Amino acid sequence: MPPGTGTGDPYRVWLSEVMLQQTTVAAVKAYFTRFTTLWPRVEDLAAAEDAAVMAEWAGLGYYARARNLLACARKVSESGGFPDTREGLGVLPGIGPYTSAAIAAIAFDRPETVVDGNVERVVSRLFAVETPMPGAKPILRDLADTLTPDTRPGDFAQAMMDLGATICTPRNPACGICPLVHDCKARALGIAADLPRKAPKKAKPLRQGVAWVGFTNGAVLTERRAEKGLLGGTLAFPSTGWDGSALPAPADADWREIGTVRHIFTHFALDLTVMTAPLRGAPRRGDLLALDHFNPKALPGLMRKVWDLAAPDGLARAGASARNRR
């Protein structure tokens, strides 16, 4: 967890763990600080506007987590607080087996086994488990369970995660200063750096699509994506093709191709062709947002790449002033 989360505060433990899913501590620290400043209690987050939370989340990716974050905060607020057991936590939106165990152990001192990627690496080396990932996950989970103490389980969980993050690292583990070096079977066999083994990666499929960035009278054409699906609930530019849709251009214009952006999602790569033009008349899709009120930082990563490509040409065509070039 980022420094200052405060063991015993389930809101901060929960928030940090959700943010850290698929993301590094270094990337999360600033987001965590900003969220807890804006919404210091779960009740404050529950009362926040969806758009405000999505805008603050921009850059962390995996936007379903942000939607689940709000849904969970509202459910917890309605029920008067977080459940204090893994089972109770596990029924809340966006809280899976790992997160429920982490909150139960760290915030409520429950003897639950917390297994993230760092812990899997430590355990695989400690017991010299050579079964490739992800098939080894159930084995590692059972072995980790044999180590979890009944006393101070939260401290133990964080110590194991820190050990994996700082000493038992993926490459060049610092075995010489590891407190478990004398018990580590992989170290004794000389294979610590090779574990956990990984099954060969499959090549990601490549998708293609089109995004339109239209300008008119000091405004840019945007849309709010549907709550469910890729980049759900985020501010974006009208697009098609890459997300299963097959939609025409959002407005009449002499659309001009200005380039392509590449973006890597978890399960596929994307080449998105960017089109831009001054608009003729009212758009058929999306909303015109005044450039004075447009904040590119509120866009998800893919759409920020689109904006970075389209902005210089489009802003000049729209006659926007330098103060609009954010």
Angle CA(161)–CA(166)–CA(167) in degrees, nearest 5? 100
Range list of β-strands (E), the chain = 206-216, 219-224, 235-236, 239-240, 256-264, 269-278, 287-290
Give the integer Cα–Cα distance in Å for 87 and 231. 30
Q: Peptide bond before 2: cis, by omega within 30 degrees of 0? A: no
Give the integer Cα–Cα distance in Å for 303 and 298. 10
SS3 76: helix
Give the integer Cα–Cα distance in Å for 326 and 324. 6
From 77, 19, 76, 24, select the one nearest 53 (Cα to Cα): 19
Amino acid found at 9: D
Q: Are 214 and 275 in contact (CB under 8 A)?
A: no
223 counts as catalytic: no
- Tell me how crowded residue 59 is: count the other CB atoms within 10 A of its CB: 15
Contacts with 87 (C-beta within 8 Å, 6 or more apart), sequence order: 100
Catalytic residues: 17
